[in-house]
Structure 1
Amino acid sequence: MKTYVTLAFLSCAVLLTDAAQAQIGRRFPSERKVVKDPVTGTMLTFLTSTPAGDSKIYPTHNQWTSDGQWLIFRSGRVEGEAMAVNEKTGDMVQVSEGGYTGMLNVARNAMKLYFMRRPPGKSAPTKDAAAGPPAPTSLQIVEVDLAKLFADSQAGKVKSAKTYQRVCGTTPAAIQAGGDMALDGDEAWAYFRVGKEEAARHLPPETKLEPNFGPRNMGAGPSGIAAMNIKTGAIKHVVSVPFQIGHIQTNPWVPGELVFCWETGGKSPQRTWTVLADGTGLRPLYPESEYEWVTHEAIISKDETAMAIMGHRKIPAAATEVAAGTPVSGANPGQEAAWGPSGTREKPTGLAIVNFRTREVVIAGQTPSGSGLWHVSGSPDGRWAVGDDFARNVYLIDRHTREMLLLSAGHKQTAADHPHPTMSPDGTKIEIQSAMLSDDNKSMNICIIPVPEEWLKRQYK
């Protein structure tokens, strides 16, 4: 009997310890390091520097809290939970409890964080070939009061998770909600993907559905976008399309303006799309040809979206090479002949910026060789554009002079992911993820790259 009591006590102690370690508001010591870029000499600020599975939010979304002091990121420090790091002190705080799924949404106007999660007690659906496809599940949209959380964490007086987390609403299981949630510019609505059955219900019966496109067998429709009012929990359908929707993002400066993509895992027949929150105005954001490989669009200002028009594929020496699918070796993506004739530099390529209002497109810059710019961002004031390439180099472009600077390099092509640069709201710095400090050459950390002081001092007529 004593043995049973002892084991039961130890089991309870372990559970309580695990719960305490997973608690929202838990603090982690600073890992902040300032490192000189070995190639360019730029001073890099690593806000994390240990192999803990860090990665930044995708560049389609905001990274900084509204007070400009914290960056929200994903990490393995607490399994399945979101983290924040203070840019000046390096202090880290756990900012979710109960897990999250999909995209983290940092509000720009309020000290709030939003994300989707499965309701407590509901595990992720598992695929069992014998049992058929997993049953649809509901998802909650959760709001986190970051101001209250940071204050209590600093004071060492963290309360229960319900003090800081509010469930905005729960999606019906039947609509199969999930994916890249995006917070509207007015911070009153959150947009998310819905499943094929729900999307099909809102399409005209005669709609021709698109098949898969490319060697990754992705892109088939239908798909759709729905929205939840984060104040009331009300849900509305926004739009359905006959192809697979990938990234969804919103215009932070124009409420109700969305951009999303046709996702194929590579070149799309028509990558970029825009629509209004009421479902009207659906159109290609940048109408592309079969010769253009458009990817990684990101809204950068009230009127502009940056995107990469890729120039990463070598021009075949003869037409027979295209037909034969001459392979290109290496880790770079998109070299399969099945993607078609796009991605070469026979046509204009580079970091392109399209204007929502005029629909005009300009090429801000392009690398002289190699893959070309791939993931892109820019400053809201229109001064800078930034992009990375397959080699994990980060380039800064002065949009006034068209000068392009290799700002940072040495981030290791073996890294678990790409730098994914995102410009800060004030246009003075860039956040990336990097494996520069990793002994395994894979694990990434959160890093800040400053815009050179001499560039910031530039004056333009």
Structure 2
Amino acid sequence: MKKLIAALSICVALALTTQAQIGRRFPSEKKIVKDPVTGTMLTFLTSTPAGDAKIYQTHPQWTSDGQWLVFRSGRARNEALAVNEKTGDIVQVTEGGYTGMLNLARKSMKLYLMRNPNPGARGGDLQIVEVDLAKVFANSKAGKMQPAATYQRVCGIVPANLRAGGDMALDANEDVLYFRIAGPEAAKHLAPDAKLEPAFGPRHMGAGPAGLMSMNVKDGSLKYVVSVPFQIGHVQVNPWVPGEIIFCWETGGKSPQRTWTVMADGTGLRPLYPEAPYEWVTHEAVITKDEVAIAIMGHRPIPGTGKTTVGTPVAGANPGQEADWGPSGTREKPTGLGIVNLRTREMVIIGQTPSGSGLWHVNGSGDGRWAVGDDFSRSIYLIDRHTREMLMLSTGHKPTATDHPHPTFSPDGTRIEIESAMLSADNKSMNICIIPVPESWLKRKY
């Protein structure tokens, strides 16, 4: 009996190993669906309820050759996958798991991630890993996969005492990764007169200190960037300007001062967009070499008016209504999709929905032509930055979905990637979806 149990255990272990292998292929699920409201033709690159999720909209989604989109999925839990936009082929591109943000290089077929080499243990050292995607795709297609170490290289070790988090971003030169840390090391680098910030808001998040460090992906060397007296989140870079970092004061909602920027040598630390107490600023994303898009939310009713801004509540769709967030997020003051110039520090609001929550997760094309945002209803709105015309591209992506659409432009500005529950029978499970910018808009001349 013991031998039988042992044999079964080996079989199970082998099966799990097989399931976790890098290069494993899945059949195409690509499907073209007409939006029943707007008529836009949507390309679903995944269409089964496997629990898919795109990379966050602050980071690149497409590989440098423009052919593959990287995402995560229940098909291979805690691993990254890639789907070919043309063929629909799906390939597992990591083995061994990861934590936090997936970082695609824009100039090379590389993927960078942070990993706990001992996932059963907490508080240990972390690895930063480089994945050779070109080799993975080629060998997977040929059916000649090698051991995972053939494709994955450990760039360096992040010591446990740094209490590093998964917020990480690849510099424009693609030689350095920036990541968030916390604890005593962050406190040690604070300015002597810095006052630690307490938790803010009903989620009891935002307390400091925190810091940013960098790792050189060639030799694994570590360098300190800066410390701040609050919790750091959403670490991202300017992909056109080496050494320029954007991050936020993370509270899980409204922050006293949400957006921040600093250079890699620790200089130039300042608020990106200095906000007033009545402004609810969120979901900043670098969109051009000089600009960052932000959402100034207009999702809460104005006190004393008896008017509800967001309409009929849907569970999970209308967050941020708690009184503890303070007097912010109403339309008593200007709200909408704002674009901040990193050089001149000027901000302009280029669009807002006439009702409902207003624009929520925002992005823009690198050529400066378009901006995009979603709202609490999970509708997607395109804005022509030259004319300020706004168009609902797609809707029906279900407020009950497990996450938000998080729209992100393709590098050439012709397509938008979202995650959507439109096809899900349970109204929750999401898929990877591509929305085209209308051909008539692409042909516009200014």
TM-score range, shorter chain: over 0.9
Residue in structure 1 matching 2:53, options 52, 55, 70? 55
How far apart are 1:71 and its partner, in Å? Answer: 0.2
**Aligned partner of 1:384 among 370, 374, 381:** 370
State the number of aligned residues. 441
Q: What is the Cα deviation at residue 204 of structure 1?
A: 2.6
Shift of the 264–6 alpha-carbon distance from structure 1 to 2, 3 Å rule, reads: closer
* Corresponding residue of 1:218: 205
The answer on 1:153 being equivalent to 2:145 is no
| Paired position in structure 2 for 1:402 | 388
Deviations along 1:86-118, one digit per CA (max 9) or x if unpaired, are 001110000000000000001100000000001
Contact 1:419–1:433 under 8 Å retained in 2: yes
Deviation at 1:195, TM superposition (A): 1.5
SS state at 2:345 partner: coil
Deviation at 1:330, TM superposition (A): 4.5
Alignment-derived partner of residue 343 in structure 1:
329
Larger CA deviation: 232-241 vs 7-16: 7-16
Q: Summarize deviations over 1:107-140 as a string: whole Å, max 9, x none.
A: 1000000000012x44242xxxxxxxxxx32110
Distance 1:276 1:456, change over 3 A: same
Alignment partners' CA distance in 2, 1:58 and 1:17: 31
Kept after mapping to 2: 8 A contact 1:213/1:220: yes
SS of 1:177's equivalent in the other structure is: coil
Q: Deviations over 1:227-286 (max 9, x none)?
A: 111101001111100111111000100010000000111111100000000000000000
Task: For residues 115-173 of structure 1, give each alpha carbon's deviation from its aligned partner in whole angstroms, at most 9, with x where no partner exists.
Answer: 00012x44242xxxxxxxxxx32110000000011000000000000000000001111
CA contact (8 A) 1:139 1:178 kept: no
2:158 matched residue in structure 1: 171
Alignment partner for residue 420 of structure 1, among 406, 416, 425? Answer: 406
Match of 1:105 in 2: 103
Q: How far apart in 2 are the matches of 1:348 and 1:4?
A: 71
Verify the 8 A CA contact 2:370 2:382 in the aligned structure 1: yes
SS of structure 1 residue aligned to 2:187: helix
Calculate percent identity across the aligned residue pairs.
Answer: 75
Letter in 2 for 1:383: R
Shift, 1:291, TM fit: 1.1
Aligned partners of 2:314 and 2:399 also within 8 Å = no
Q: Secondary structure at the match of 1:178?
A: coil
User: Which one of the candidate residues 298, 303, 317 is aligned to 1:311?
Assistant: 298
Aligned-pair distance for 1:347?
1.3
Residues 7 and 334 of structure 1, relative CA distance in 2, 3 Å threshold: closer
Whole-Å separation in 1 of the counterparts to 2:8 and 2:430: 36
3-state DSSP class of the match of 1:20? helix
Q: Following the alignment from structure 1 to structure 2, what is the Cα–Cα distance between the partners of residues 18 and 330?
A: 39
**Shift of the alpha carbon at 1:316?**
1.6
| One of 235, 259, 264 as aligned partner of 1:272 | 259
From 340, 343, 346, the equivalent of 1:354 is 340
| Secondary structure class of the residue paired with 2:128 | strand
- Secondary structure of residue in 2 paired with 1:179: coil
1:41 maps to which of 39, 42, 46: 39
Q: TM-score, normalised by structure 1?
A: 0.93
For residues 197 and 7 of structure 2, what CA distance do their matches in structure 1 show?
Answer: 59
Structure 2 distance, partners of 1:96, 1:297, is: 28
Aligned mates of 1:433, 1:363 — CA distance in 2:
26
Could you tell me which of 144, 148, 153 is aligned with 2:131?
144
Corresponding residue of 2:433: 447
How far apart are residue 9 of structure 1 and its match? 3.5
| Contact 1:65–1:107 (8 Å) recurs in 2 | yes
Contact 2:314 2:400 (C-alpha < 8 Å) held by counterparts: no
| 1:138–1:177 Cα contact (<8 Å) kept | no
SS of the equivalent of 2:74 reads: coil
- 1:7 deviation in Å? 4.2
**8 Å Cα contact 1:262-1:271 kept in structure 2:** yes
Tell me which residue corresponds to 1:252.
Answer: 239
Offset at residue 8 of structure 1 (A) = 3.4
Distance in 2 (alpha carbons) for counterparts of 1:8 and 1:263: 48
* Unaligned ranges ≥5, structure 1: 126-135, 322-327
For residue 13 of structure 2, what is the amino acid of its counterpart? L
Gapped regions of structure 2 (runs ≥ 5): 307-311
2:83 paired residue number: 85
CA drift of 1:5 comes to 4.3
Q: CA deviation at 1:82?
A: 0.6
Distance 2:445 2:35 in 1: 27
Match of residue 132 from structure 1: none
Q: Which amino acid aligns with 2:250?
A: E
What residue is the counterpart of 1:281 in the other structure? 268
Give the structure 2 partner of residue 436 of structure 1.
422
**Take 1:443 and 1:124, find their aligned partners in 2: how far apart are those partners?**
30
Number of the residue aligned with 1:181: 168
How far does residue 198 in structure 1 lie from its aligned partner after superposition?
A: 1.3
